[in-house]
Structure 1
Amino acid sequence: MSVAASPAPSLGDHLCENGFGCIEILPSTNDAHGGVIVDLKDPMDPQVFASLLKSSLLQWKKQGKDGVWIKLPIELVNLVEVAVKEGFCYHHAEPSYIMLVYWIPKTGCTIPPNASHRVSIGAIVLNNKKELLVVQEKRGRFHGIGVWKLPTGVVDAGEEIFEAAIREVKEETGIDTEFVEVLGFSQAHNSFFGKSDLTFLCMLRPLSFDIKRQELEIEAAQWMPFEEYAVQPFNQKHEPFKCIIELCIAKMERTYTGFCPRPISSFFSKDLNYVYLNSKDLHKSS
């Protein structure tokens, strides 16, 4: 017995048993983990949706399905209450849709939780004069305390770490750069609405030098002598910033090797992904 996607979701799918008693259910596709995905796009009356949802859950239970995902575009937000009354709960939301989920079996739920981490970068850009590219921000925790800091920012969905580092430096300072390597990363919990932060400290090589700061978020930007950056009282008081200083010194003394991106292909996807590794020592071992 199979459930096919319908070209007219508002009418539902018709599931027939032994040629008799066709039952109208919501259009769905099977996921890779024994569940189903309902991706509604067209308007639907809440009462019609409620009826289809009830009959669908009964059929999916008979079929031995596990998780049920319902993706509702923001235009169909009026259907959320109906689904919640049937036992669905929120899983996650994006600007254009909300995802609801329901676990059918009475056994323990194995549906993975929503993404637990936000990924961000910090960019170390050193020029040949041993000057560090630094900024002061107009908003956030560093605003108004006189601290010169590294350009930082959040990695966008579908964006590589090295791409985000290059983009953030360009956006905040107008400086073009070439990505060199990831020097390290840190994890902080309960950082953003209960989520954890993964921050990758990246080394980049400047390709231009004339600063054009971003007016919206950046108060000031400059090339600062590294020694001047390092002795800022704020940096001396806080351990994470001491680590940044130590890494910068190690790179300038050529005693530290970070992780460079290597493109790799996958059996599961046609898109290239990247693994970050110490290629210098890897080549030595081979």
Structure 2
Amino acid sequence: MDLKSFSSNSLSSSEVALLARSSSYSYNAFMQKFGVRFSKSPRGIIVRTYGGPENHYLANKAIISLAGGANNVAAETSFHSSNGLNGSTWSLFTRNLKVLEAYDDEYGGVVIDPDRLPTNPSVFARSLNLSLSHWKKMSLLYLIRKVVTMENLTLASCVNVHALHKPHLTYEDLQGKKGIWLKLPIEKSDLVPVSIKEGFQYHHAEPGYVMLTYWIPEGPCMLPANASHLVGVGGFVINENNEVLVVQEKHCSPEILGLWKIPTGFILEAEEIYTGAIREVKEETGIDTEFIEVIAFRHAHNVAFDKSDLFFICMLRALSSKIVVDDHEIEAAKWMPLVDFVKQPLIQEDSMFKQIIDILVARLGKRYCGLSTHQVVSKFDGRVSSLYYNVIDNDEDINCVGN
């Protein structure tokens, strides 16, 4: 059997069956490719999987019994290490070294428990190496068991694999681990270099931790990427005098210096779009408002931190009139007549600003309908979500249901 026909991600069941039965196969070459060793015992064939630079291995003892005319598989698992000198073995448990505490996620991945990590970097390095070896190699034993037990077939009948209509077992069939998630709290940041050395990659960071990931299968990583977008909001507030609430920021780019603009900002984690707009207006101007509609939103790329940006313009109704300026962010704030707001040169000269103002004016003239928010519950996850939509009562006089 040609070694080139094997793949670490997809292995035909006939190849595995022949491996277990063939005495002519070069298992030295197989060991180099897969980290697997076969040995004979009175009970059958023992398969050991090895991994790691220190020759740690998981003795995934797949004992294939050939007695009695039947081919059966039993499994035992233990942890050993070869000292590289005389081939003797000893239990790693005598040195308190074991696979890191972890739990499976619903996508076939592993989430390492951040609260039960070793604090010593050297101990963590050995445990992480052992754990990676374990999660990589545990699939091989499952494969051998599956080949000989699928549809009650024996090893001999597995050779005629095409009769199964399953000529290859994929990585997913093996129930092997795929992605590994490692969350390192800030107090254990000295474990980051150790993890990177083992092949982990940065995923994202928050003030209290850094998240690292490791993808086991060959091919492109299928783990979800870090958040790709920032979400901003702007509050268009107009009072009964047809005046718009506007601000001038203390810190702004030279291009918009002197522009009177609507209050804007980023929404917070787990904050609704409409509540974020209400909060930003309150923080910058002291004005209380209530949400009416999302008038429009802009989608741009490579903005702050090279992230994409979603910016929602919300129409709000003023509930108070006294302005209290936020001295940290805002240079000035005032109620400005709508006509003066629209006539500002920076707005007239910028196609996007002008389009947004045109939409807002159309909404005030009831020639346009925005999106109001509706709380709904989905059976898929049981969560309450905000669904933004609107309908029109009639074609002659636009009346947005949900206002």
Scaled by the length of structure 2, the TM-score of the pair is 0.64
**Counterpart in the other structure of 1:243:** 355
Structure 2 counterpart of 1:57, from 109, 132, 142: 132
Which deviates the most, 157-166 or 244-253?
244-253
Matches within 5 A, 1:147-226: 147-226=259-338
What do the CA deviations read for 1:210-256 (whole angstroms, capped 9, x no partner)?
10111110000000001101111110111121022101210121111
Letter in 1 for 2:109: G
Which deviates the most, 164-173 or 34-43?
34-43
Q: How far 1:108 sits from its partner (Å)?
A: 2.1
- Determine if contact 1:34/1:65 at 8 Å carries over to the other structure: yes
Structure (1 or 2) with the greater strand fraction: 1
Q: How far 1:39 sits from its partner (Å)?
A: 3.4
Q: How far 1:269 sits from its partner (Å)?
A: 3.9
Structure 2 counterpart of 1:38, from 112, 132, 141: 112
Which deviates the most, 108-117 or 198-207?
108-117
**Counterpart in the other structure of 1:10:** none
Letter in 2 for 1:29: Y
Alignment gaps of 5+ in structure 2: 1-58, 61-74, 80-92, 140-175
Identity of aligned residues (%): 47
**Counterpart in the other structure of 1:128:** 240
Q: Distance in 2 between matches of 1:180 and 1:102?
A: 45
Structure 2 counterpart of 1:253, from 341, 352, 365: 365
- Determine if contact 2:104/2:110 at 8 Å carries over to the other structure: yes
Q: Does residue 89 in structure 1 map to residue 201 in structure 2?
A: yes
**What RMSD in Å do the two structures reach over aligned CA positions?**
2.3
Matches within 5 A, 1:101-116: 101-116=213-228
Q: How far 1:96 sits from its partner (Å)?
A: 0.7
Q: Distance in 1 between matches of 2:214 and 2:77?
A: 29
Alignment gaps of 5+ in structure 1: 1-14
Structure 2 counterpart of 1:68, from 180, 191, 206: 180
- Determine if contact 1:155/1:164 at 8 Å carries over to the other structure: yes
**Counterpart in the other structure of 2:151:** none
Q: Distance in 2 between matches of 1:153 and 1:68?
A: 35
- Determine if contact 1:137/1:143 at 8 Å carries over to the other structure: no
Letter in 1 for 2:314: C
State how many pairs are aligned: 271
1:38–1:216 distance in 2 versus 1, CA, 3 Å: same
Structure (1 or 2) with the greater helix fraction: 2
**Counterpart in the other structure of 1:26:** 100
**Counterpart in the other structure of 1:145:** 257
Larger radius of gyration: 2
Q: Secondary structure at the match of 1:123?
A: strand
What do the CA deviations read for 1:86-134 (whole angstroms, capped 9, x no partner)?
0011000011110001100112211121111000001100111110000
What do the CA deviations read for 1:152-193 (whole angstroms, capped 9, x no partner)?
010111000011011000000000000001011101111011
1:192–1:176 distance in 2 versus 1, CA, 3 Å: same
**Counterpart in the other structure of 2:9:** none
Q: Distance in 2 between matches of 1:284 and 1:186?
A: 22
Letter in 2 for 1:31: D
Letter in 2 for 1:72: L
Q: How far 1:141 sits from its partner (Å)?
A: 2.1
> Which structure is higher in RCO with an 8 Å CA cutoff and minimum separation 6?
1
